[in-house]
Each structure stands twice: as structure tokens, then as C-alpha cells.
């Protein structure tokens, strides 16, 4: 959608949004700045002492308060409506301009497909982990909401090609156990959390992305590519 939109369209959206913000602060909701600053203060204090229960409560109270404060702003509502209208316009345009291509002389033979049972099912709530007994490897590509994910690669035989683990998660921890003979590439991003990648700890992640790979990755087999994204949670990748 962004590719076909010209610069003038974006400029008008930004200008109108900025004007609505100034009007709201100046004439309709003068306490908006105070509400944002107060919510940010609660989040900062809570994050600094996040190991304590009271700090966690303080942090999430500030987060929820900031979210609804921003959501109630006229400028934000305008931006949401504008994006929805542009998306619908782009979808309608793409449907009308859809192009169908078919190679000349392509055989009309039905493709033979075999259904494969994935290791993990999509699950919004609850914990998941690989089996304690030997299991056949299948690439993992899941997203979830709340809970922990534990993946132990010591009970499976990885394929000759690169094995892939892709996890997108909201709240919860991820643990991945990798045998010593397996080469690894890791890409992890988190809004809030901590990470321990083998012997490299990161005690506080705030909207950060980490990337590591072992020395033999891309040269030796077997190898696994790990891509994880969490909103709030810890990740630990270690040898076993």
C-alpha cells in the first residue's frame, strides 16, 4: 500500500494529524500532556524496579493508561481512519487491476500434495514444548499470545538443509535447547524483556533487536536458523 501513495498524500495526512493534535492540546484537552507524562513516569519507575511485584503493577498501569490516552486523541483517531480508508481504497484498486498470468502450454495435471502435521499448533493461551521422546523434525512457524514456548532439539535429527524456527509471541518466555554439534543463527527482537544467547546475557531489552551466529554457520551442517519476536518476555538459547 505504501508504494503507490505519493509524498503529497502522506504530507497532508501528517499535517492534518499535527493540526488536530495542536488544537486538542490548546483548546479541548489541556491535560493531555500531563496524562502522557504521568503515564510515562509510572512506566519508567516500574521498569527500573521491574523485579518487584509492585513495580510490575505500576509499569502495566502506566502502559495501559498511556495506550488509552493516546488512543483517545483526535489526531490518532484521524490517522487510524485515514489508514483504514487508504487500505480499503488500495484493496479495491488491486482487485480491479489484478493480473492473471498462465504459462502457455502448462499441463492441466493436479498437483500431488501430502498433508504434514506441524510440531506446534497456533495457540493464543498456554504453554507449549516439544516431546520428551524422539520426534521427526518439521520447521516451526508459529505465533502466540500468552504462555511459554520450550523447544528441545536434542530429541530430533535435523535435516541436511537449514532447519527453521520462527516464533512471534506477545507475552511469555522462549527457551530453545540446541545440541553442541549444531550451528546456529539467531535473530531476536523484543519490546521489553531479557535474553541469554549461549554465554551472552542481555539483562534489559527495550525495543531492541539481537543477531548472533556461530562460527561454522553457513559452512557446516546441521544448522538451524532461529527467528523470534516477542512484545514482552525473555529468551534463552543454550547448548544441551
What is the pLDDT at residue 178? 93
Residue 63, Cα to own-chain centre: how many angstroms?
18
| The 3-state secondary structure of 177-227, one letter per residue | EECCCCEEEEEEEEEEEEEEECCEEEEEEEEEEEEEECCCCCCCCCEEEEE
Cα–Cα distance, 141 to 164 (Å, whole number): 8
What is the pLDDT at residue 119? 77
Q: Is the pLDDT of residue 8 over 90?
A: no
Answer with the residue of higher pLDDT: 16 or 110.
Answer: 16
Confidence of residue 28 (pLDDT cuts 50, 70, 90): confident
Confidence of residue 175 (pLDDT cuts 50, 70, 90): very high
Q: Is the pLDDT of residue 38 over 60?
A: yes
What is the pLDDT at residue 109? 65
What is the pLDDT at residue 214? 92
pTM of this structure: 0.55
DSSP string, 167-179: EEEEES-EEEEE-
| DSSP designation for 110 | P
How are beta strands 183-197 and 200-213 bridged, if at all?
A: antiparallel
Element (H, E) at 166: strand 163-171
Amino acid at each position: 500500500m505504501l508504494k503507490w501513495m505519493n509524498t503529497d498524500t502522506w504530507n497532508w495526512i501528517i499535517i492534518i494529524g499535527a493540526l488536530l493534535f495542536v488544537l486538542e492540546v490548546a483548546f479541548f484537552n489541556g491535560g493531555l500532556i500531563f496524562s502522557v507524562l504521568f503515564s510515562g513516569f509510572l512506566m519508567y519507575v516500574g521498569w527500573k524496579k521491574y523485579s518487584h511485584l509492585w513495580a510490575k503493577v505500576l509499569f502495566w498501569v502506566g502502559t495501559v493508561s498511556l495506550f488509552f490516552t493516546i488512543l483517545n486523541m483526535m489526531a490518532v483517531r484521524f490517522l487510524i481512519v485515514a489508514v483504514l480508508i487508504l487500505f480499503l481504497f488500495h484493496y479495491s484498486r488491486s482487485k480491479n487491476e489484478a493480473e492473471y498470468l498462465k504459462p502457455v502450454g502448462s499441463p492441466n495435471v493436479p498437483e500431488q500434495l501430502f498433508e504434514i502435521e506441524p510440531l506446534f499448533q497456533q495457540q493464543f493461551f498456554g504453554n507449549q514444548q516439544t516431546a520428551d521422546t524422539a520426534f521427526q523434525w518439521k520447521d516451526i512457524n508459529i505465533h502466540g499470545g500468552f504462555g511459554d514456548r520450550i523447544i528441545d532439539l536434542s530429541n530430533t535429527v535435523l535435516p541436511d538443509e537449514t532447519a527453521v524456527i520462527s516464533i512471534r509471541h506477545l507475552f511469555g518466555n522462549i527457551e530453545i535447547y540446541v545440541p553442541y554439534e549444531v550451528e546456529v543463527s539467531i535473530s531476536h527482537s523484543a519490546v521489553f524483556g531479557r535474553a541469554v544467547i549461549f554465554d551472552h546475557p542481555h539483562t534489559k531489552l527495550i525495543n531492541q533487536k539481537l543477531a548472533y551466529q556461530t562460527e561454522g554457520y553457513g559452512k557446516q551442517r546441521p544448522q538451524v536458523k532461529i527467528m523470534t519476536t516477542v512484545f514482552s518476555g525473555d529468551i534463552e538459547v543454550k547448548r544441551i
